[in-house]
C-alpha cells in the first residue's frame, strides 16, 4: 500500500514539474540566430537566442549576453529551418527506398536477388545527398524575420486635429489642420 502511495505521489509530482516546465518554455521563444539593434545604435549578432517577456539572452563571441527589452530597439531572428528540412528530405528518401525494396520483394527486375548490404549502403548515400540538398535549401529559404520592435517612446508629434467648420449661412465649409508638437 505504501509503495502505491509513493508511486502515485511521484507521478503527481512529475506531472506538476512537467506542466510548470512546459508553461515556462511556452513563454520563451527560441531562435537559432539573432541580430539585435540596441537603443544606442549598437548591433549585436549571436546564436541560440532566447526571448522572454522582459529580456533576450544570446550567445555572442562564446559568452552569454543578456539584454533587457527596455534597451532593445529591434530583434531580428532566423528560425533555423535548415536542419529540419535536411532531416525531412533524408527521411523521405529513406522511406522511398524502403518502399521500393518492399515493393520489389527483394528481387531485381531481371530476377536476381538484391544484396541487402549494398542496397542499404546505397540508400545511406542517397539519404546523405538528400540531407545535404535539404540543408542547402533550408539555409537559402531561412530569411531574417522581425520578432520584436520597441514601442515608440518619444514622438515629436503629440497630436493632429482636423477641423471642419461651416460659415454662418452654411454656404461654405472651412477646413483647418492643427498639429501639436
Tell me the per-residue pLDDT of 100-113, one tens digit each, with 9 for 90 and over: 777 777 666 666 77
Please give the helix or strand (H or E) that residue 104 lies within, else none. Answer: helix 81-104
What mean pLDDT, rounded, does the chain reach?
77
Q: Of 151, 150, 173, nearest to 163 (Cα)? A: 173
- Tens of pLDDT, residue by residue over 22-43, are 544 446 788 888 898 888 888 8
- Tens of pLDDT, residue by residue over 39-77, are 888 888 888 888 888 888 888 888 888 888 888 888 888
Q: Say how many residues make up the chain.
A: 181
pLDDT at residue 23, rounded to an integer: 46
Mean per-residue pLDDT, 80-89: 84
Amino acid at each position: 500500500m505504501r509503495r502505491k502511495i509513493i508511486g502515485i505521489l511521484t507521478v503527481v509530482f512529475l506531472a506538476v514539474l512537467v506542466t510548470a516546465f512546459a508553461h515556462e518554455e511556452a513563454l520563451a521563444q527560441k531562435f537559432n540566430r539573432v541580430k539585435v539593434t540596441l537603443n544606442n545604435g549598437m548591433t549585436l549578432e549571436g546564436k541560440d537566442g532566447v526571448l522572454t517577456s522582459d529580456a533576450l539572452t544570446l550567445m555572442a563571441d562564446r559568452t552569454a549576453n543578456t539584454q533587457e527589452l527596455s534597451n532593445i530597439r529591434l530583434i531580428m531572428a532566423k528560425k533555423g529551418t535548415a536542419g529540419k528540412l535536411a532531416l525531412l528530405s533524408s527521411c523521405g528518401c529513406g522511406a522511398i527506398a524502403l518502399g521500393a525494396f518492399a515493393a520489389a520483394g527483394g528481387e531485381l527486375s531481371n530476377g536476381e536477388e538484391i544484396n541487402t548490404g549494398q542496397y542499404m549502403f546505397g540508400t545511406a548515400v542517397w539519404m546523405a545527398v538528400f540531407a545535404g540538398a535539404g540543408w542547402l535549401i533550408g539555409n537559402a529559404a531561412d530569411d531574417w524575420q522581425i520578432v520584436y520592435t520597441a514601442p515608440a517612446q518619444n514622438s515629436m508629434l503629440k497630436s493632429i486635429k482636423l477641423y471642419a467648420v461651416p460659415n454662418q449661412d452654411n454656404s461654405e465649409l472651412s477646413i483647418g489642420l492643427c498639429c501639436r508638437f
